[in-house]
Amino acid sequence: MDSFLSCNNITKQYTGHRALDDVSIAVPKGCIYGLLGPNGAGKTSLIRIINQITKPDSGVVLFNGEPLGQKHIKNVGYLPEERGLYKKMKVGDQAVYFARLRGMGKAEAGKKLLQWFRKFEIETWWNKKVEELSKGMQQKIQFIVTIVHEPELLIFDEPFSGFDPINVDLLKNEILHLKEKGTTIIFSTHNMSSVEELCDYICLIDNGKNILSGEIHEVRNQFKDSLMEIRIDRPLDNLSSILPAGVVVLEQKQNNIFNQINVQTPSEMVTNEIIEAIVPHARIISFSESLPSMHDIFVQEVKKNKP
């Protein structure tokens, strides 16, 4: 398989519980890969293994086809969920320090960092101490520090927590921009709408096992159960007699502007028939097939996986 990063049959045992149980994931190059799962599922354990913070008990991680090793550290950027900077250190010095640890030269790091600081319009913070900044400001710096050495693989663990909507958009744009440039991104979050918005692939981990993974549209298609969402301009009382046979009305909702009907169809083929059946009785405002949200899939699958 042509993946940039692949974890094959990873197992990790801690005292008392098995954090990862034969987990395999394949992350294609240049995509955003969503790593999902309830708290304590084993996401952080997997991320730590990819970051070489811990070693797996068994299994292999391949980075660009090679077994993961010390030399790949410079090619990885990691934004942990639990963020931290040295409080008493100046922002600029600190950013340069982390960049140097990831293999950049001092002068090069300073130059690149200053570009990023300008881009984010925070160059005035350079000589401030970290403790003088708000939490959100610190997160911004941590984001820059994570990406400044232009790694091929980026791992973001809840990157948007603590940000206001404007900064969330700023970060989202940067993440998408990095993807365009060919960076592979692993994105771990509990925010399902941002998963739908950003991710190309997802993997759902629960109880140390990979219970669902694949291309996000395929996953959502796999879970769709031919649900249609129809909005019309007036309420219809005798819906079940109007609609073709086999179509089940699940719900009818009403507000000032429209009436919404949720139906389940025996197959996608009947959509035109449904429209034709409604047209004589009411004006159709919109008609769409509703894909299950990642939220629903998450909840459903994790519940199903409960022993």
Residues that bind other proteins (CB under 8 A): 15, 48, 51-54, 73, 76, 78, 80, 82-89, 97-98, 100-102, 142, 145
Nearest to other proteins of 88, 181 (CB atom): 88
Residue type, 98: F
Looking at residue 174, its amino acid is E
Min separation Cβ 94 and other proteins, Å: 9
Classified as helix, coil or strand, 108 is helix
Cβ closest to other proteins, residue 89 vs residue 211? 89
Minimum distance, C-beta of residue 180 to other proteins, in the bound complex (Å) = 25
Joined tokens for residue 227: 């649900």
Query: How distant, in Å, are the alpha carbons of 31, 170, 199, 213, 225 from that of 297?
Result: 21, 28, 15, 12, 12
Residue 167 in tokens: 């900064």
Q: Which residue's CB is nearer to other proteins, number 82 or number 180?
A: 82
- The position carrying tokens 């922002």 is 91
Of 55 and 177, nearer to other proteins (C-beta) is 55
* Least distance CB 104 / other proteins (angstroms): 10
Closest distance between other proteins and the C-beta of residue 138, in Å?
11
* Angle (CA) 156 89 83, round 5°: 20
Bridging pattern class, strands 209-215 and 66-67: unpaired
Minimum distance of other proteins from residue 46's CB (angstroms)? 13
Q: In the complex with other proteins, which residue's Cβ is closer, 76 or 171?
A: 76
Structure-block tokens of residue 172: 């989202």
Phi-psi region of 68 (alpha: psi -120 to 50; beta: other; left: phi over 0): beta
